[in-house]
């Protein structure tokens, strides 16, 4: 079970109140987690990754276990604590402004 925390705007869009729990098949990578998330919540397609290029939207960040994973390859396995549900995978709207 993967735990995912979304920023407020995406929780509204997905109509969820709090943390999401997802079953993800196979190797737990950012790509497999986001693919599973978008399958369950198709309204999130394009909000986290560009639909044409598949790249992370530049003001969206990915955190896990206290580290910024935004620049990791989408195929890099996520930490075991995320894969076993001990720690959440955080999707963050970057702070912009002063």
Partner 1 sequence: MSGVRLLVGTRKGAFILTSDERREKWEIGGPHFAGWEMYHIKASPVDPNRLYASQSSGWFGQMIQRSDDGGKTWDTVGNAFAYDGIPGTHQWYDGTQHPWEFKRVWHLEPSLTDPDTVYAGVEDAALFRTTDAGQTWHELSGLRDHSTGPLWQPGAGGMCLHTILLDPSDPNRIFVAISAAGAFRTDDGGTTWLPINQGLRSEHIPDPTAAVGHCVHRLAMHPSRPNVLFMQKHWDVMRSDNGGDSWREVSGNLPSDFGFPIDVHAHEPETIYVIPIKSDTEHFPPEGKLRVYRSRTGGNEWEPLTNGLPQKDCYVNVLRDAMSVDSLDSCGVYFGTTGGQVYASADSGDNWTAIVHDLPAVLSVEVQTLP
Residues binding partner 1 (CB under 8 A): 7-10, 12-13, 42-43, 45-48, 50-52, 57, 59-60, 93-94, 96
Nearest residue (CB) to partner 1, 26 versus 97:
97
Nearest residue (CB) to partner 1, 39 versus 57:
57
> In the bound complex, what is the minimum distance in angstroms from residue 17's beta carbon to partner 1?
16
> In the bound complex, what is the minimum distance in angstroms from residue 70's beta carbon to partner 1?
13
For 94, other C-beta atoms within 10 Å of its C-beta total 11
> In the bound complex, what is the minimum distance in angstroms from residue 12's beta carbon to partner 1?
8
E strand segments, the chain: 2-5, 20-22, 60-64, 67-68, 89-93
Q: Please, where are the H alpha helices in the chain? A: 8-14, 30-40, 80-83
Nearest residue (CB) to partner 1, 54 versus 85:
54
DSSP state for residue 43 in the 8-state scheme: G
Under 8 Å between Cβ of 93 and 5: no
Nearest residue (CB) to partner 1, 39 versus 45:
45
């Amino acid at each position: 079970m993967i735990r995912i925390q979304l920023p407020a705007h995406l929780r509204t869009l997905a109509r969820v109140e709090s943390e999401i729990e997802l079953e993800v098949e196979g190797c737990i990578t950012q790509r497999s987690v986001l693919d599973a998330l978008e399958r369950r919540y198709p309204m999130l397609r394009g909000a986290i990754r560009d639909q044409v290029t598949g790249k992370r939207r530049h003001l969206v960040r990915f955190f896990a276990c206290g580290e910024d994973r935004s620049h990791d390859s989408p195929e890099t396995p996520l930490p075991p604590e995320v894969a076993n549900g001990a720690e959440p995978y955080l999707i963050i709207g970057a702070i912009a402004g002063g």
